[in-house]
Structure 1
């Protein structure tokens, strides 16, 4: 079996452990490859169990197999799921059980939210009772997750990634389900909001929670941890004080951020910024200002990281630079030349020069296309590379982000979130950009995979690549030359004693590596 359990399953009762999984396994449909080896799992009443493991270990597949909601490229190969002692057959019975007892938040929650519905409608869709009582419950659960009342009338497309993540969780919590299944529920959230999520999960009355995560903080507050990393998987129980060996974000020790002034320009590059952002003002679709008077100078080989609370406008800034979000004021310069604010007005070279790896790669990768051709496409469209050469280059790029060659023949729905995230990065690098925009680039990655990606980015900087990243991950910020924080609609310089406003000199001289 995949997991060493603490006592024989037969001794578990339906009252103490309402959900018991025995020998659950998943295979790929095409080649029969084992995605999730036979796994045992038990979930006790009121218990929070964290599932951890390397990217691609089968964590998300475990949740989908349990719910009988595997994508078309995967199938359940064996195993039994029991609820309160009774087995749940696959098919309609599993779907009825899922609707009656489960709340689920997937790894890309924004894709599961109807973009035409308001937040209030999304959260309250499955509630019954009078309109007043439904509205009160919606407000109650939104307050629990720190979602302000002003969001109630907004549509999904007007939310940040972190806000959408909390709306999906509010939707799952609203009906007070017996079982809460969460896949990377804090990947787009800052530390303060993560703590709020933990409190909300712990306040889940009478229910049990199974969460997939790479977040050390979530692991530290779980009652038990199930590790799917090969070769041996074990279950360990946290002590009464909930202290485990995984550090929380407040205790993570990261290498110091390199001083901007201490790092010289890469040889052969001029002192003029590669990309200049001058006085940019970014707003929501309804015109509400998000960021004002943004000044950034990105030099060849530099790395700038932006931190800030969920909903503060970090992602909107990246999309404004990319040309996919309206800019109210300000201008962009690429290599000293004006860059149109609308991507549709940019020429091929300007589009090639700036590439984005977004926060939700599942929505950016066409589920129909195999990974190899998807990664190779920019080589054909932007560089005219021949078929054989671009196929070889696609494999090289996949290898550079830590993915095996066989991934090239698979389609995105059959892959883990961490694998899709690295595929999106490989595809962006295939365009051979000058500036790379990264939105939470390690949110779905385990530590080893994240280190592989960050080391690759550091090597690319030596060749002149400029990076602008939005992150809540201190290990990503530690790689940057310069760390900025969003502080009431402004970008301010990071300091150990708190953020300070940027001066004119800092604005003009920033970005040098």
Structure 2
């Protein structure tokens, strides 16, 4: 241990009780945290990385789960601390930024009150001037106004900055970041990570970042520790590990990471394919909202085609998905579905007012499989429900139909008797896909379904979705904020900004010849394994303004772009 070492984990072994068995989640883990440096903990879901990271805050200290090893912060054994020193450690010496700031912030408390509560807990000055100073430190706009707002009035990126402000308010020596950018679009992600780097240097903190995104770790971490099934696989300087990995598992993780550049694009073209969905000049407004959430949305989806809609948070892409699924009303325009027999059906009203066959034909896979599944009902019950509602199987046929669907999505009949808590994140998402397929839909809407998945599981789910699309002749609307993810699954890509389409083109054309400045900014903001710095570290200062009257014009080769390049500005 050197003079600059602030924390050390030595021989850490952790296990949990699971029924009548003891399951090991971390075994013989060793690392140090050094002042002014960042360590990245990477690995797939269930590798134990979050469990290990949170031991720095004294979690699991009752001894019933820590089987061996020590965790020391400034040479103090965190598992042996009395109550008062432990309270000082948590949030004082070691601060945590959780994965989902929306869940970490109290929805009924104003931002200023939550910051003040943190400062008061550690006996620090908590006047308005200090609150404004903290919000200004994390480069939030109009901090004087923000202290009186509630979390739901902020974007996801702003909520994450508030969480960081709360974490650094006490001048901690160690900052633990647990998947801090998972749900953020690439531009906001780059800004948040650049902010973390700046604060680390300014405040001299040691940083531990837990992530399944090797691009993020590559750009911000000095060292990386790769974990699998609770054990250390590889540990060393980040660029050395990622450029010359010694272990097969590390190479598999690197290979599974989605990339914008240097990856072949599969081109599927069927000029004779029928139109399944057509949207023309669709406007969508939420109740009592002063402005449109989506304006002039215009797209066609062909049978067997995957169309991706991409854009940053708040661009309107999920609103489009909700409207087509009947969860948001279309204020104006045309939205129609064609069934396999050629019949046309309106998609303008709420799902409850649609004919049964139309409801069955449009199925939505939700972003968060944890919240989409009833925790008290078995997986078999979840998949059987649409089979019953839409009359796709009789009572006698139901068990066999459920087993076939589970097998089709790469699980097995034995999963029918389990509850969601007994499945991994990737397995739960496969159940969501199986439940949607049970209705035998024409259009499958996948809304950010890989956001919370590690790269290897993400690749498996994307491959599964593409396989099902081909085998079943499904059309798919794929919603994402990640251009690297959609590159491998989409036939065409629609780019949205501020509720409007700025560019639309076949996937290969858009990646090779992006025409709109905003599309180029999205591509430039992607961080991939091998990046040694964050692109556009001033991304949080950049905002784009679109001319609302500029038309979307056809520039050839299936490429349409909003004719406002001169009006698109950065400020």
Q: Give yes or no for TM over 0.5.
A: yes
**2:363–2:444 contact (8 Å) kept in structure 1:** yes
The 8 Å contact of residues 260 and 487 in structure 2, kept in 1 or not, is answered as no
Cα–Cα, structure 1 residues 249 and 436, in superposed 2: closer, same or farther, change >3 Å?
A: closer
1:27 aligns with 2:35: no
Map Cα deviations across residues 193-249 of structure 1 (whole Å, 9 max, x no partner).
Answer: 222222122123232222222222212131222211258612122359997775998
Aligned counterparts of 1:151 and 1:249: Cα–Cα separation in 2: 36
Structural mapping, 1:497-508, within 5 Å: 497-499=514-516, 502-503=552-553
- What is the aligned partner in structure 1 of residue 474 from structure 2? 465
Are 1:223 and 2:222 an aligned pair?
yes
Residues 380-404 of structure 1, C-alpha deviation per residue, up to 9 Å, x if partnerless? 4444646785455555545554557
Report the more deviating stretch, 211-220 or 89-98.
Answer: 89-98
CA distance in 1 between counterparts of 2:261 and 2:357 reads 41
Quick check: 2:119–2:169 contact (8 Å CA) kept in 1? yes
Query: Compared with structure 1, are the counterparts of its residues 163 and 136 closer, same or farther at alpha carbon in structure 2 (3 Å cutoff)?
Result: closer
After TM superposition, the score normalised by the length of structure 2 is: 0.72
Q: Which runs of 5+ in 2 are unaligned?
A: 246-253, 339-343, 518-550, 561-571
**CA offset digits 1:436-470 (Å, max 9, x no partner):** 22222222333332232222212222222121112
Partner of 2:523: none
**2:182 maps to 1:187:** yes
1:405 CA drift (Å): 6.5
Query: 2-side partners of 1:114 and 1:78: how far apart?
Result: 34
Aligned to 1:206: 204
Q: In structure 1, list runs of 5 or more residues that go unmatched.
A: 1-11
Q: CA deviation at 1:485?
A: 0.8
Q: Is this contact kept in 1: 2:7–2:73, CA < 8 A?
A: yes
Among 483, 489, 493, the alignment partner of 2:493 is: 483
Q: Which residue number corresponds to residue 337 of structure 2?
A: 334
- Residue aligning to 2:563: none
Rounded to whole Å, the distance in 2 between the matches of 1:296 and 1:502 is: 11
Q: What's the CA shift for 1:482?
A: 0.6
Q: Deviations over 1:3-59 (max 9, x none)?
A: xxxxxxxxx368514242532323353252525141414333333222222333333
Compared CA separation, residues 329 and 423, structure 1 to 2 (3 A):
same
CA distance in 2, matches of 1:452, 1:304: 19
Is residue 263 from structure 1 mapped to residue 270 from structure 2 by the alignment?
yes
Counterpart among 43, 46, 49 of residue 53 in structure 1 = 43
1:302–1:481 CA contact under 8 A, matched in 2: yes
Matched, 1:350 2:352: no
2:447 pairs with 1:439 = yes
1:402 and 1:150 map into 2 onto residues whose CA distance is: 50
Pairing 1:114–2:106 present: yes
Q: Is the 8 A contact 1:442 1:473 kept in 2?
A: no
The residue that corresponds to 1:310 in the other structure is 313
Deviation at 1:147, TM superposition (A): 9.6
Alignment match, 1:98: 90
User: Where does residue 274 of structure 1 map in the other structure?
Assistant: 276
- Structure 2 CA distance, aligned partners of 1:289 and 1:54? 39
1:4 corresponds in structure 2 to: none
Over the aligned positions, Cα root-mean-square deviation in angstroms equals 4.0
Distance (Å, rounded) in 2 between the aligned partners of 1:53 and 1:311: 30
Mean Cα deviation higher: 240-249 or 220-229: 240-249
Q: Structure 1 residues 237, 341: CA separation in 2 closer, same or farther (over 3 Å shift)?
A: same
Give distance in 1, aligned partners of 2:461 and 2:100.
Answer: 20
User: Is the counterpart of residue 16 in structure 1 residue 5 in structure 2?
Assistant: yes
Is 2:177 aligned against 1:177? no
Q: Given the superposition, is the C-alpha separation of residues 254 and 489 from structure 1 closer, same or farther in structure 2, using an over 3 Å criterion?
A: same
Q: 1:321 pairs with 316, 320, 324, which one?
A: 324
Q: After superposition, what is the alpha-carbon deviation per residue over 1:98-150, rounded to whole angstroms, capped at 9, x for unaligned?
A: 34444334444433333344555556652453442243134314426x89998
1:281–1:289 CA contact under 8 A, matched in 2 = yes
Give the deviation of 1:318 after TM superposition. 1.9
| CA distance 1:417–1:117, change in 2 (3 Å) | farther
Using the alignment, how far apart are the partners of 1:31 and 1:473 within structure 2?
45
Matched, 1:237 2:262: no
Per-residue Cα deviation, 1:268-326 (whole angstroms, up to 9, x for no partner): xxx2x323323222346643333211112222211111121222222222223223334
Query: Following the alignment from structure 2 to structure 1, what is the Cα–Cα distance between the partners of residues 317 and 146?
Result: 18
Residue of structure 1 in register with 2:71 after alignment: 81
Equivalents in 1 of 2:115, 2:134: separation in Å? 6
Whether the aligned pair in 2 keeps the contact of 1:127 and 1:134 (CA below 8 Å) is: no
| Pair 1:136–1:29, CA change in 2 (3 A) | same
Q: How many residues align?
A: 487
